[in-house]
Amino acid sequence: MKLELGIRAGVAIPLLATLIVGMSILVVFNYITQVNMIKEEEARSIEVSINTAQVLLESSTIHYQQMAHLVAQMSDVQEAVNKKDRNRLIDKFLPAFNSLKENFGVAQFHFHVPPAVSLLRFHDLTHFGDDISKERKTVVQVSETHKGVRGVEIGLGGVGLRGVEPIFYKGSYVGSVDLGGGLKTEIDQVKKAINADLGVAVYKELLSGWPGLKDIKYTFGQWVSLYFTQPDPKMFISEASLKRAAESKERYYTEVIPVAGKEYIVVYTPFKDFSGKIIGFIYIVKERLLSPVKVFTMLGINIFVYIVILVLISVLIGYGMHKYVIDPLVQLTKFADDISMGKTGEKIDIKNARGEIATLAKAIERMRITMKKLLE
């Protein structure tokens, strides 16, 4: 059965179909473009967060090494270390250490004499004279190379950031000095800088000599979570995830974790000590930019906007088609029908006729005049 369409339907249906197809293509294109842009922004955000965390931690160790270097260059310090004069060092630095500890989070200020013997701990004045070679590899390295070193180190106090500098007296190596702080203060500063939660998971076996290990609450197989800026790291990390991160050959490893109706990206990047050895992971937790809710919301907004545009375009085109094409054609059809029935008295005047419609109207008007003369 052949479908007969009127002029309105014949014009409107193909036009509307074309508009719908075109708008659908635009919706898909715009949606894909937006999703890709968000993915790129997510990737950039991860890169920036990792770089910022590493730079801030490195900056802290640089500051500790700078302070240690300043102390090591003082002539009276060099003489006091050479003579192992603890009282002289205490009188000179104890007030300054207490101020640094209170105001800037400096947790350790330590003098050592060769090969690696504690001379003076400002953070523990009663504990000295012990061999620290097993737990303080930075001090051993400085003693062997007579060069400064900085970075992360695991010692009797757990994981800390250290800067160690050699001390010379009249050209001879007489000892070393180190300053440092704990991770918690620096992790809190990193959180403020990257606007994301983060923590540190370290291999448990490396902390076997640390008395505080027994008090660690969160253990994940061979790793322990030392610090996390949220109360419970188990909401975001697991032993399986840490294993996958350890097996990954990439610069960092990411996972998407659903928590309380939201999606979070957990980024694992290797946590290295002063020698470059991987001792665990820094994990960064960021709310995902491209969550399913946001994706569907974005798609819904795209569809709504394009439907509104489609309706407006359809209304405008429909109005123009009716005014300048369909209505004039309907009028001309009526005039042609009247002429065929011998009604030739009414002049054909189509006000909104344009282009070919106007030409057709003039042709029918000439036909009306000719028919009128013939009939007279």
How is the chain split into domains, by residue range?
A: 36-290, 293-375
Nearest alpha carbon to residue 111 among 103, 121, 96, 98: 121
pLDDT tens string 234-292: 999 999 999 999 999 888 999 999 888 888 999 999 999 999 999 999 999 998 866 55
Is the Cα torsion angle 281, 286, 288, 289 positive or negative in sign?
A: negative
Would the pTM count as exceeding 0.85?
no
Indicate the average pLDDT of the chain.
Answer: 86
Rounded Cα distance between 254 and 266, Å, is 6
Average pLDDT on 303-320 reads 75
pLDDT tens string 132-174: 998 899 999 999 999 999 999 998 788 999 999 999 999 999 9
Split at pLDDT 50, 70, 90, the class of 4 is very low
pLDDT tens string 217-235: 999 999 999 999 998 999 9
Q: Identify the residue with better confidence: 183 or 5.
A: 183
Split at pLDDT 50, 70, 90, the class of 3 is very low
pLDDT of 45 above 90: no
What integer pLDDT is reported at residue 334 of this predicted model?
Answer: 81
Strands of the sheet containing 117-121, edge to edge, are 117-121, 108-113, 172-182, 158-169, 149-155
Where does 293-375 sit in CATH, by number?
Answer: 1.10.8.500
What integer pLDDT is reported at residue 7 of this predicted model?
Answer: 61
Average pLDDT on 36-55 reads 87
Q: Identify the residue with better confidence: 37 or 244.
A: 244
Return the number of other C-beta atoms located less than 10 Å from residue 301's C-beta.
Answer: 13
pLDDT tens string 50-103: 999 999 999 999 999 999 999 999 999 999 999 999 999 999 999 999 999 998
Rounded Cα distance between 11 and 8, Å, is 5
What integer pLDDT is reported at residue 89 of this predicted model?
Answer: 97
pLDDT of 327 above 60: yes
pLDDT of 204 above 90: yes
For residue 324, the one-letter residue type is Y
Share of the chain above pLDDT 90, in %: 52
What integer pLDDT is reported at residue 200 of this predicted model?
Answer: 95
Taking the mean position of all CA atoms in its chain, how far away is CA 60? 23
Split at pLDDT 50, 70, 90, the class of 210 is confident
Rounded Cα distance between 210 and 82, Å, is 30
Average pLDDT on 325-344 reads 77
Average pLDDT on 173-186 reads 93
Return the number of other C-beta atoms located less than 10 Å from residue 11's C-beta.
Answer: 18
What integer pLDDT is reported at residue 239 of this predicted model?
Answer: 95
Architecture of domain 36-290: 2-Layer Sandwich (3.30)
pLDDT of 110 above 60: yes
pLDDT of 114 above 90: yes
Containing 109, the helix (H) or strand (E) segment is strand 108-113
Containing 79, the helix (H) or strand (E) segment is helix 75-82
